[in-house]
Structure 1
Amino acid sequence: MASVHEAHDVRLDRTVAVKIMHAGLSDSDSDHDFADRFVREARAAARLSHPNVVAVYDQGDDDGTVFLAMELVSGHTLRDTIAKESPMPPARALALIEPVLSALAAAHRAGLIHRDVKPENVLISDEQSGGQVKVADFGLAKAISADTQHTATQGVLIGTVSYLAPELVVEGRADARADVYAAGVMLYELLTGEKPHEGETPIAVAYKHVHHDVPPPSALVPGIPPYVDALVARATARDRALRPADAGVLLHQVHRVSHALDRGVRDDPELTLDLAPHLLTRERDDLDSDAALFADQRLPRDHPEPTTTLPVLGAPTTRPVPLPPRIDQRVDQRVDQRPPQAQPSGPPPRHQPPRVGPTGSGPAGRSRRSRRGPVLLVVALVLALAVGGGAFWYGWARYTAAPTVVGESRAVAIAAVEDADLQIAFAEPVYDSDVPEGAVVSADPAGGAQVLPGDVVTVTLSLGKLIVPEVRDLTEDAAQDELMAVQLEVGESIGRYSETVAADSVLGTVPKAGAELSSGDTVQIVVSLGRRPIKVGSWVGKTLEEATAALERRNLVLQTTEAFDAEVPQGTIISQDPAPGSTRFRDEVVSLVVSKGPEMVEVPRVNLFGVEAAEQALRDAGLVPQRSEEDDYYGLGFVVRTDPEAGTSVPKGSTVTIYVV
């Protein structure tokens, strides 16, 4: 679905990994939905702040190319470790799977499901970086699969087929238990170096996930403790109701198994029984009749070892558990130790008939029955005590109750958990409006739950009320980082013009800074578009009054000059700067040239001037001379009058007629 490149973040000066979606995933109109889903899932994944999750730094769209900027992990994948080290000791396998489950548990608490848990998505940094285990690509499978049909012949199955939970194959639906199943398959692979189900085609492998249990790892690698087999069986149960509810529960069970391994325990029937997912026994109301039948029949020495049934925590059925050898031996001894009967010293009489009592049975029969009754009663009592005591121990006595620490301070929670002989671990803190900062929001297992001494209680502390941070004047990228750092989701940005904040800087948020929200709520960033451009308009040929009123409404400053124009009426705009169609910003100047109308000049007095002198005088005044002879023309060459008369004001350039005699 993507190619990954090493890149440099110039804003924060760091090396990152950029995942670029293949162009084919967002080319068509229908695939715009994919891009939207991808963005939503990327933002959700970015909320995961956990040391074992590959961090998502940023997301963007470059001309239709969707990309993610993520933490760069220099190292290798868990697949490489499996190839080099598997089969590996159980302690090593659990050490590798534990950080994976920790990451998945954080995601499940945040309502996220990975959907594609596999060794290729587990990254392990180089030794110089601490060899840290990190899970990548949260939520991306959901972005692809939202409109995908999960069938064998149409569409695709999201997730590598070797790690698909049966319900994904059959129903196409996933919840946190699908991630648990995939983690269990990975644990099997770490322990054995093999995948539990192989086939010639993906469909064949998927069929086996649905119809075949994952075999115990000890079948391939002898010596693996039974409780490790039981852990794998619980995580990979085909019936998801028998699996741990989420990765946090499985992590708790992994801790119990790790503690047993650390103590060097070769076999722990109690732990094995707790982890075993299946119940293979009869109903409990059959137990008394079975015990009575057992007590009434003398067992031969080669009889199979008797079994009884005990409840298993967290499982809907029970499984057969061998009776302790001491009880078995005691039963046989009590059945065998009947009082010896006196034997006659000589051979019995040849024709001595049996003595028959009133009930038709002889004294010997009465003696056997009288001795057999107490023995059977003792056996029944022993069995009842053994069953009751075992049930009490397995189902109740060995457990302790987890303390209730929700609402308590960190110090009080630590003291309460340690006083209960339990260990405490802290999950990533969360914002909670109802729980004060530093107090406990939740605990897993919850208060009152049955736990074994030494188990881990994972506590989540409150960061207090989630208040929208102030991001004004930051860049949009920096504002996104601030909001995601407090577990808020960033919505679509809003662009607004601002006369005071530079373009691309943040004006604020919706809701505003200081508003109280809940984790995961969406906040929109308001980004400055800079100063609002104002259209100047076209004013040439319009009156000055019209232009003045319009430009003042647009908050532009009007500057005018006047000029004579014989063709443009007075008060009409001759020209403007800037030109029509241009824009200006608020309070900037628009210059207009307004017509004063034609320039008026006075007709000079040229009476008695010679013709040439008169014509020159008129031209000097900006007028156009035109000669005409009087009716009484004598050829003298003198001007006797003008039209218009001398002293009259006329537009400059007007024609003045001179009359000559």
Structure 2
Amino acid sequence: MTTAPADPMIGRLVDGRYQVRSRIARGGMATVYLATDLRLERRVAIKIMHGHLADDNTFKTRFVQEARSAARLAHPNVVNVFDQGQDSDMAYLVMEYLPGITLRELLKDYKKLTPEQTVDIMDAVLAGLAAAHKAGIVHRDLKPENVLLADDGRIKLGDFGLARAASANTATGQALLGTIAYLSPELVTRGVADARSDIYAVGIMMYEMLTGEQPYVGEAPMQIAYQHANDTVPTPSSKNPAVPVELDELVLWATARDPEERPHDARDMLDRLREVEPAIRAPRQAPRTQATVVLPDAAMPVGVATAATAVIGGGAVVAPPAPPEASDDEAASALATSSDRRRRRGYWIFALVLLLTGLAAGTGWYFGAGPGAMTTVPETATLLPDNARQVLAEEGFQVVDAERNDPRVPAGQVSGTDPAAGQQARRGSTVTMFVSLGPLMLPMPDVVGQPEADARSALGDFTVAEQSLQQFSGDIAAGSVIAVLGAEGNAVAAGDPYPELGDLSIVVSVGPIPDVTGMPVAEAEAAITGAQLVVGTAEPEFDDEVPADHVISWAPATDPVRPGDTIVITVSKGPDLVEVPNVITGQTVAQARQQLEALGFSVTSNVPGFLEGAVVASVQSPAAGEKLKRGSEVTVNFG
């Protein structure tokens, strides 16, 4: 005996948030699973598109359209859609989880429904559909499989996979994507659908609920489609005589072959249903019976022992014989009085029995299956496991321990329960208590060099500060990410583990620092301040290459450099030139050398060192008054 392969989705964590628990249903386009939203601690239904359809843009578009259509609706009779996304190559849709059955399953079990049950279900379906039509959405795939009957009594309309805006009513190529048994004539013949096409499908559903079968059957889908296009739907009472005329008329109105003869939208049909509802629910009048009192025959002689019988409500009570001396009128009066007394006593006893039985049944129901059996799951998050277990046990729950990662609750503390705190659960039922393993450690994505918007999307599993840090960079283009910083301000490299939902900051490039080398001072200062930086100045320097009042060099005062930081510039004083003095003024050679070297010149002379005391009597070179760079050579000769 071979065992079916396990579903690989069971136990998988989708998008780092939804823990898949079990499979609920499988359809042609997707499979629906029961999952736990670890972030909000609630059970959800997650609809995952089949892998072989992932590359088909048509199916992807329909899948996303379902999320958008349902998300536009907020109504008690429409299944809520919470989230939609992509995990690797897997498209998913997160919806409200409703434990219960579909209308199709109900019809399989009961074949057909009573008029009252049909009215109850159709009231909810039409209310949800009216909200869709008001929002401009045509469902296009109404059938019993898409009507959900929750265990708590709620009735909701789901599966908007084929829904479209009411204005987009021309469907070429996809017109027959809905189930053939519920397609309107105009969809079959012209491929056109609007709100009245949904009404036709509702009428077919009502017929099926009241009769236990669909109005048209055939061996091939096109045979059924042909009947929709050319035949008139019969009245439900032709199959089920118990159907009231009001529902016959409603079904015929909804299934008229000409769309102009149907209700304009679901609101029109709902209003009519609610108008006839009192007549459908009116109790049937049972035939009344009158109490018959059989008195003694007046012709009988007085004194003869006679038996008077009072027939009341079908029962017979034999009255005692009248005293011999009593007249016929007195006997009749006594008999009537006795009968009334017995009848009143019987009523009181019957009423008392009913009351006691009702109290017993009501008490048993209240504490066994009704509200008395339910209690609120207490809040235990952040408690230590032993304390939380005691709190849950005091409320009458059985506790099962489990573990899970939690980005907010420290390891070793309780992170929540299933059912969640605040929900109603039956006394004595099992509550799963989750102990936190701390945050799930996730690898840091490589976002360096990516545009800021793309980087924020890639970091969706973490908490990224709304305000990014700005920094100048000559290597990373403006608007792209330079680095990712952790909560302590340290850089987190790609691939490093980091806690889920952990706090992050991103550093974004504002481009390079403006290069002001060689610029005039005024232009350099304008360029620096225009880049949201502050100008600082160093001591001016002589420079043979850079003209005076131009920037020789610049340097940041901080590393890294962010808007508001200071850039220090060094300004040129031009070449370092000094005027040569006249040393042929009766000075000695030693005095002339000392004067020239003090000005930064290099001195040469034809006078030997031991004659330094001789007076300069020759021409100096270069001549006095010329300007030379410091360090230039000046010759002083003795002739």
TM norm structure 1: 0.46
- Per chain length, whose mean CA-contact separation is higher, i.e. which structure has more relative contact order (CA < 8 Å, sep 6+)? 1
TM norm structure 2: 0.47
